[in-house]
Structure 1
Amino acid sequence: MKAFLLWSVVFSVIFLLSIDPLKAVEGEKFLDRSLYDFETIDGLKIAYQKVGDGPEVLILIHGFMGNSTNFEYLFDLLRNDLTLIAVDLPGFGLSEKNIKKPLSRRYMAQTVAKLAEKLNLDHYHVLGHSMGSEVAMWLALDDPARVKSLILLDSPICLSERNSIPNNIFTKVGLRLIFMNYNFQKKVFKDMLINEQNFDEKYFLKNYYLAYQTPMEVIFNLAENQDTPQLRENIGKISVPTFIIWGEKDEVTPLKSAECLLSAVKAKLLVIPDAGHLPMIDQPHAVARAIEGIIFSSISNRP
């Protein structure tokens, strides 16, 4: 009986894993690579999408296991008034996956800053979503003269974290099943990240394909070099105009986390009704209006 149960588990795992690459290949069909540009930063190929030609530049930074397409619902809404630079962070999207250096949030911020410099962007606004908000905060701390405003979208900065992940075969298999399994990721996306009625199969498949390319080594590198505690110690030093946007129904980083963030940094909070952890997908028009209001009001209020 025990042998039967063991083999049942083994075959179940094999079955689950076997459909993943097929779904990833299916998702690749929905990815338009012609929309991407690439620059080499610190020896790494960094992918980004440039959208619009407005007078103000907004750099968009995605979250954990995300990529630049997380913001695509905003592209057409903002392209007339802003120039958008949506970055694939090192290890994610179409950017370099073979990362030898410590992949801290601060290092990723430095990579974004060097990309901006290479694109001849002297001043810009920055929006970071989820983990990307921590990258954005480091960018604002390290280069405040260039950052005109900082927008934090559903930030996890107040959540507890693990500083390390056991690096063994069991952990790798477990993480592989969690982060790369199609059925599990689809359920998480529909049930936790967005409102289910906004789920789009083609969009999810495209993102699943991109997430499927991220190796476990990147996830271990991130966990081993997490610098969130150091960021918390310095967050009060942020000097650029700061704004917080939050999905009212966010289950990953609940709204109470926004209150915690407000106690640490001087900022204004805007709550997006009927939106989850990805408000730019649930309520793109509301988020786009908020972004435009923030950027153009911050310009008019600058001395």
Structure 2
Amino acid sequence: MKPPLLLLHGALGSAAQLQPLAERLAADFDVYPLSFGGHGGQPLDAARFTMTHFAAEVSYFLAERGLDHVHVFGYSMGGYAAILSAATDPGRIRSITTLGTKFDWSPETAAEELRMLDKEKMQAKIPQFVEQLSRTHAPTEWHAVVDATTAMMRELGEQPVLNELNLAQLSIPVQVLVGEQDRTAGVEASRQFAAYLPEATFEVLPNTPHPLERVDLAALALRIREFAGANG
């Protein structure tokens, strides 16, 4: 029987974002992709579009399916939700691998991220990405997802829900991966937050930026497979 593996997408993404990775891991795991509320066609409720609620969705998803000792891979925002879920509802998650997860939230770092979520500039400068967002989140309007993400990031900047104290209490293995060229998560910030985790490993992936489509998926799948195998 294959161990279960939950895949969690990043901001503005959906479960479909992780399908190529899922295909590489399907021979070794029972893979469960999850689209958070408001993403990938899921109904958007602005009051529930928060990191705290996304973490609760992870717990509910696992409980509803009776899944225990689950390995989790979270890309970017998905990694944050995974760790928060494990910290607030311990027992179901066996190990977590994160990639490109931004742990360092403050009003200043949030402001940097929010500059990239200007809807008018997005339409003018990256219309193909806007069209992709429209397809990914239909029937929800793409700009509603951007607005909700903006509010979520602003809230995280004002009140980060992961900190040195609760990370230090997390007693499961966590593999923190960050790209050498990832300016969103940041190598040194990722290293600092990994140091708060009692059972963390930390690795910088060479020549790797933040976008998942530019990550070497074969190498990523290998790291997930080996880490889960070592912590089964």
Q: Which interval holds the TM-score relative to the shorter structure?
A: 0.7 to 0.9
Gaps of 5+ in 1: 1-53, 166-170, 190-203
Distance 1:128 1:78, change over 3 A: same
Distance 2:167 2:187 in 1: 19
Distance 2:133 2:3 in 1: 28
Distance 1:278 1:154 in 2: 8
Distance 2:124 2:171 in 1: 42
Question: Aligned-pair RMSD on alpha carbons?
Answer: 2.9
TM-score normalised by length of structure 1: 0.64
Distance 1:152 1:228, change over 3 A: farther
Deviation at 1:176, TM superposition (A): 2.4
8 Å contact from structure 2 (residues 12, 133) kept in 1: no
Distance 1:228 1:126 in 2: 25
8 Å contact from structure 1 (residues 144, 240) kept in 2: no
Residue-pair matches, total: 221
Distance 1:205 1:76, change over 3 A: farther
Corresponding residue for residue 162 of structure 2: 231
Does structure 1 residue 297 correspond to structure 2 residue 230? yes
Corresponding residue for residue 286 of structure 1: 219
8 Å contact from structure 1 (residues 69, 207) kept in 2: no
Deviation at 1:291, TM superposition (A): 0.3
Match of 1:175 among 103, 118, 142: 118
Does structure 1 residue 263 correspond to structure 2 residue 179? no
Corresponding residue for residue 6 of structure 1: none
8 Å contact from structure 1 (residues 58, 126) kept in 2: yes
Secondary structure at the aligned position of 1:230 is classed as coil
Amino acid at match of 2:135: Y
Distance 1:280 1:241, change over 3 A: farther
TM-score normalised by length of structure 2: 0.82
Distance 1:274 1:92, change over 3 A: same
Does structure 1 residue 136 correspond to structure 2 residue 67? no
Does structure 1 residue 73 correspond to structure 2 residue 16? no
Gaps of 5+ in 2: none
Deviation at 1:151, TM superposition (A): 1.3
Q: What percentage of residue pairs aligned between the two structures are identical?
A: 20
